[in-house]
Amino acid sequence: MIQLLGSGRSNASVRIQKNKIIKTYFDHSSAEKRFNNELDIYLFANENKLSYIPKLISYDREKRQLVIKNVGTDLQKYLSKNKKKSLKDFLPEIKKIYDDFISHKVYHNDLRKKNVLYNKKNNKLYLIDFENSGPRYLDSDHEDLVKMVKNIKKTYKRTKLGSKRIKRKRKSKRKSKRKSKRTRK
């Protein structure tokens, strides 16, 4: 069975074939550029074993076609069907993935629920759709997902640093106690 997916936004057709996804770029002035950009990211991810990017099975430069492993359901679809789960539940993991991608000097630049996939079986998240990804931040962030991810980063850092600071203070207190004991003797 072949199922058509894709937003149509990018002028690419996305078909599901069993455990594979076939993405083909239409003949459009920017198709070549977007295809090459996405292919480069998949090749980079495969080389660097980025586990949160689905495996690229094969590609065809002439047909401008990518064959990618089908790794799950996008969060837009998943959350609309599973009312018990909310986007909040996934934010910490999205943050991890998003930050790791940046640590490789790549901004996703189209972060949205449709471009984050969830695999229920292994409880893992994946990033897809790298047509606009690159070394500069250019995300218009329509869904405020980057904003949400950044916000949880701040709270996390604050508590982490805070606890470190508290430990250090305690240590130095102990030291000064010891010192004062010694001087008393």
Ligand X SMILES: Nc1ncnc2c1ncn2[C@@H]1O[C@H](COP(=O)(O)OP(=O)(O)O)[C@@H](O)[C@H]1O
Among 72, 94, 97, 106, binds ligand X (CB under 6 A): 72
Among 22, 71, 97, 145, binds ligand X (CB under 6 A): 71
Select the residue interacting with ligand X from 22, 41, 53, 54 (CB under 6 A).
Answer: 54
Report the number of secondary-structure helices (H) and strands (E) in the chain.
4, 8
The CA-atom distances, in angstroms, between 5 and each of 9, 15, 17, 114 are: 11, 6, 11, 11
Question: Site for Mg ion (CB under 5 A): which residue of 24, 109, 115, 133?
Answer: 115
Closest approach, Cβ 126 to ligand X, in A, equals 7
Helix, strand, coil in percent for the chain, rounding step 5 = 45, 20, 35
79 binds ligand X (CB under 6 A): no
Binding to ligand X by CB under 6 A, coded x per residue (else -) over 140-179, reads ----------------------------------------
Q: Which of 23, 24, 97, 98 binds ligand X (CB under 6 A)?
A: 23
User: Taking the CB of residue 6, how many other CB atoms lie within 10 A of it?
Assistant: 16
- For residue 4, the minimal CB distance to ligand X (Å) is 9
Q: Tell me, by CB under 5 A, how many residues bind Mg ion.
A: 3
- C-alpha–C-alpha distance, residues 91 and 37, integer Å: 26
**Residue from 117, 127, 145, 146 in contact with ligand X (CB under 6 A):** 117
Alpha-carbon distance 112 to 10, whole Å?
14
70 is a contact residue toward ligand X (CB under 6 A): yes
Q: Whose CB is nearest to Mg ion? A: 129
75 to 114: interface string for Mg ion, x by CB under 5 A = ---------------------------------------x
Which string of b and e fits 80-106 if b means at least 16 CB within 10 Å? eeeeeeeeeebbeebbebbeebeeeeb
Three-state SS at 11: coil
